Structure 1
Amino acid sequence: MPGDGTITIVSEDTEAVQQLEELLRTLLPGSGEIGRNISMFSLRYSSAVDVADRLRELYMTTGTNWRRGIQPVSIVPDEQLNAILVQGSRIDRETIESLIRTMDTPDARASKPKIIPIQYAEAQEIATTLREVFRTQMMGRVGTGATARGTARTGSRMSAEIAVDESTNSLVVVAPSPLLDEIIELAGVLDRGAEENPARGVRIISLEKANSTRVEQALQRILGTGPPTARRAR
């Protein structure tokens, strides 16, 4: 009879039982209790094994430069279900879910995700702009062109997927090489533009002893700003 804290699996497929046992051993903590930090994501187009390998590669090769989470992350594929089980923090699981959606597309099988760190702007805002600019590619439409004889021909599909990792303010892009280069270039231009023209913030500072008018005049002299000089009427 099974006791508390145990799991009983009955199946005629011994290979599937063994695989599930290995998955549970990988995902369960040492105490053997199942927490709420496990999610399962089903894939439709791509191989769960291939996507899991790419996800592990992202987390291992980029290290703390991309991911700042302190909790360990386990990524285990289930080949029979073509799904991926993920154990980690909520932020990591949400990020991985977004990455899986990016990778699980008909045209992303041969593409590897590219991480684009954003230094000055908000990654979410840049992603919104990129999706608007590359709307046609994001929707996976097929381009058309004209041949020398004037007949229409169908171009190859160049779909793109853009995800955002808010914890590191980065973009994760999956796209064919020519389109990927355009996205990287535009993201860099937008990011540098935010550096040159940062958004102005407003903060109220209470003054204890100084006179606010004199402080304002001093700041205007230092910053080279001030109210416009009124023209004298003739």
Structure 2
Amino acid sequence: MASSNSRFIISIVGSLVGCCVAIIVLAIVLPIGIINSLPPEYCYSTQHLKYLPAGSTIALRKTYGLGRFELFNETGHGDKIENFKFNASSIVGTMKYRSWAIPYRIDLMNAEQKGSAEGRGASFSIGQQVSLHECRNDTTSEFTVLGRISQTNVFEFWKRTYEVYDATTTNKIATVEDKFGINEPFVARTPEGVVVAEFQQITWQLQETWRLSVKYDMPNFDMRSLLILVSVISYNRN
């Protein structure tokens, strides 16, 4: 009888401890999740990131949290990361991955962290689907479509393939392959084989950093789709 009572007491104490731990975890995680899901202040332009001429270099340096970056204009400093300045004056945008939002969001904002462009994830799709939108004050509809990023549903063990579409969401403008375990630049290539841009992950001073280099002058190519794609790839890899 005594051993039975002891087991009962231990069971009760264990349950109470488990409940206390769960409450503490929820008390910490829930506020973080709620803050994470809050949208930025709309509508502020990111048109300066839409067209980047050949030779432009944008560095994306990771901040706190998955898929979150500060964007720096490092044009003219070459391709070597050690030559980049990362000055506050060269910040041209910020990016925030809101994984708790429904559907999840990727905010591409200006240097003051005020929002304009965003990627919206499709929760129930075969392969990852991200629709791209922009908040506009000069249109009858507050949000207009920028394009779409689609991860192909062809299952391959050694790579992911992403397709980028323009504002029609049906006209493919680039394909990017993420080859697992291969440290080489990602190449954004048009259906005709033209290399529009390259971007590569580099660890610099213990911070995840990406370098986006524009290789071909295409005024009609919205580079914001590739910047959002960097956040998608970074989140998937981590």
TM-score by length of 2: 0.27
Considering only CA atoms, is the larger Rg found in Structure 1 or Structure 2? 1
TM-score by length of 1: 0.27
Q: Comparing both structures, which one devotes a greater share of its residues to helix?
A: 1
